[in-house]
Amino acid sequence: MSRLHTVSDATRRYLSTTRPFLIGDRWQGADGGTHIDAIDPATGEAIGRFHEAQQADVLQAVAIARQSAEDGRWSALTPAQRQNVLWRVADLIDADSQTLAELECLDGGKLYAPTRQYEVPHAAETFRYYAGWCTKMPGHLFQPSVPGVEFHGYVRYEPVGVVGQIIPWNGALVAAAWKLAPALAAGCSVILKPAEWSTLSVLRLGELLLEAGVPPGAVSILSGKGRLVGQMLAEHPDVDKIAFTGSTAVGKQLLQAVQGNLKRLSLELGGKSPTLIFADADLEEAIPAAANAIFSNAGQVCVAGSRVYAERAIYAQVCARLSEIASSLIVGPGLDADSTLGPLISAAHRASVHDIVTRSRTAGTQVLCGGEPQAGVGFFYPATVIGCEHGAVPAVQEEVFGPVVTVMPFEDAARAVRHANDSIYGLAASVWTQNLSRAHTLAAQIKSGIIWVNSHGIPELSMPIGGFKQSGWGREHGEEGLMLYLEAKSVMIRL
């Protein structure tokens, strides 16, 4: 049954019309009026719809972004002016947090309480964080060593120009904020493409950007298909950079698409993040945290702790307690206050999650709980714990992106590190131990972009995050996140 009656009037009003996409300062529908239904994954029903951008719309958005990048309507504002606009965006997100959170739940299958309490405020904080960078842009002075001639040298950092940003559906609002805030702080003009499975909160964010004073043309938001809008942005010669977050498979396709004009490319891709639990860890804290690391957002999190490795002495205890927590989760729609495990984003995604579990059963594993799709409406999948003695298992090797965790024993720290690094991915990891020396040693030995010790999945805007190996290229957050959108230019002045 539709959950629309449970949301605010403002959200219902927002959903009552086909949402247009944004080009410059114009909200428009596609030629021919093609649209995509927004499906609530908790019911499988359409809760709204949005226009689907076509080829002509992409061309128009790129032309306007190019014009905006050339005439400096955004990049030539003073740093303080840009800062103030970004700060206003943050305030408007806070003011609109109920509608934004409701849209994330209805369209993206999220749980309402954590979305309203953490994710929407985090999106606002992302704009505040990068607002601060506007007045602190990097630059360097040098004294060149040219024999017999004196030079004054400096490096200035300039906006890359027109940026195409392509984001996934899991946490659409936060993903959009992580992309837009640093690019706008750097002075770029942006065309953002949300994922077709979770678009509505991003279109709403577009309204807030204009209201905050982002000049028309500095941001366009094109709802539509990846194969058309995303692909065209990646191939277009007037786009200077693509910033992509999504699957490793599509990331690899983009390598081909961007080669026409060798545009800059940054990639935030898949993960298969290990959680290493040593016998000396505070297990009262570590095991529930390991459960949270994989089951929050139903495992649809890039840094989800999908591989737990437990020291042999505590292996049985970790399996039992994880299974107990998994079984106690209340599967249900994100807008129901009782729910602690929401749906997967689509029927197709649930089928792919179940396929990996099914293939893992025949690889000598033990499914300790869950493992069968939930009957009835919605795309629910139960929290699933799989015990395994070796790593040659699909659920250990492949990114599941669902509430499925494997648990494997290890004998000593060296073998724990080998297990952790036995993956094509290298996005994140956590280590649970009371031994500080071991924590530092493992932090150096594990190949991943971020390591949490005695915690997992804590987002921190001041610290870079991104992938080793096939988890990506480049880092978001912090100064590194800003540098993705800047070109270095050396200037040598002969004195």
The residue (of 269 and 385) whose beta carbon lies closer to ligand NAD is 269
Site membership for ligand NAD, residue 230 (CB under 6 A): yes
| 318 touching ligand NAD, by CB under 6 A | no
- 449 contacts 467 by C-beta, under 8 angstroms: yes
Residue 199 binds ligand NAD (CB under 6 A): no
**Whole-number Å distance between alpha carbons of 31 and 303:** 39
Q: Does 427 bind ligand NAD (CB under 6 A)?
A: yes
The smaller minimum CB distance to ligand NAD, of residues 246 and 334, is found at: 246
- From the list 105, 134, 188, 302, the catalytic residue is 302
CA 189 to CA 163: how far, in whole Å?
A: 6
319 tagged catalytic? no
* Nearest distance in Å: CB 134, ligand NAD: 24
Which of residues 98, 247, 358, 441 is near ligand NAD by CB under 6 A? 247
Cα(116)–Cα(439) distance, integer angstroms = 33
Interaction of residue 196 with ligand NAD, rule CB under 6 A: yes
Q: How far is the CB of 197 from ligand NAD (least distance, A)?
A: 7
Sheet containing 139-142: give its strands across: 139-142, 151-159, 486-494
Cβ of residue 244: shortest distance to ligand NAD, in angstroms? 7
Q: Could you give the CA distance from residue 119 to residue 97 in angstroms, rounded to a whole number?
A: 10
Residue 170 vs 220, nearer CB to ligand NAD? 170
**231 contributes a contact to ligand NAD by CB under 6 A:** yes
348: exposed, middle or buried (Cβ count in 10 Å: 0-12, 13-18, 19+):
exposed
Active-site choice (102, 104, 268, 476)? 268
Judge whether 242 and 265 are in contact, CB under 8 Å.
yes
Q: Which stretch binds ligand NAD (CB under 6 A): 4-12, 239-247, 379-387, 414-422?
A: 239-247
Interface of this chain with ligand NAD, residues 122 to 181, rule: CB under 6 A? 166-170
- Spell out where 186-318 has E strands: 189-193, 219-221, 241-245, 264-268, 274-277, 307-311
399 is a site residue for ligand NAD (CB under 6 A): yes
Within positions 435 to 494, which residues make up the interface with ligand NAD, using CB under 6 A? 467, 472
Please choose, out of 21-29, 118-126, 224-232, 415-423, the segment that lies near ligand NAD by the rule CB under 6 A. Answer: 224-232
Asked if 297 interacts with ligand NAD (CB under 6 A), we say no
Euclidean distance between CA atoms 452 and 212, whole angstroms: 36
C-alpha pair distances (Å), 190 with each of 176, 197, 221, 489: 11, 21, 8, 21
Q: Does 193 bind ligand NAD (CB under 6 A)?
A: yes
Piece of the chain touching ligand NAD by CB under 6 A; list 50-58, 152-160, 267-275, 353-361: 267-275
Question: Do 465 and 450 form a contact (C-beta atoms < 8 A)?
Answer: yes
By CB under 6 A, the residues from 330 to 369 that bind ligand NAD are none
Q: Which residues contact 391 (CB under 8 A, 6 or more apart)?
A: 397, 408, 419, 422
Asked about 188 being catalytic, the answer comes back as no
| Distance between CA atoms of residues 402 and 395, nearest Å | 10
Single residue of 133, 157, 315, 401 touching ligand NAD by CB under 6 A: 401
Q: Segment contacting ligand NAD (CB under 6 A): 20-28, 127-135, 190-198, 205-213?
A: 190-198
| Binding of residue 270 to ligand NAD (CB under 6 A) | yes
- Total binding residues for ligand NAD by CB under 6 A? 28
Give the angle 324-329-331 at the CA atoms, nearest 5°: 145
Q: Is 425 helix (H, G, I), strand (E, B) or coil?
A: strand
Nearest CA to 215 among 83, 80, 75, 21? 75
- Residue 171 or residue 409: which is nearer to ligand NAD going by CB? 171
Q: Are β-strands 307-311 and 366-369 bridged in parallel, bridged antiparallel, or unpaired?
A: unpaired
Stretch that binds ligand NAD, among 210-218, 225-233, 359-367, 453-461 (CB under 6 A): 225-233
Binding span for ligand NAD by CB under 6 A among 75-83, 184-192, 266-274, 373-381:
266-274
**What is the distance between the alpha carbons of residues 178 and 25, in angstroms, rounded to a whole number?**
22
**Partners of 267 in beta bridges:** 244, 473
Residues designated catalytic: 268, 302
Q: Which residues bind ligand NAD (CB under 6 A)?
A: 166-170, 193, 195-196, 226-227, 230-231, 234, 245-247, 250, 253, 268-271, 302, 399, 401, 427, 467, 472
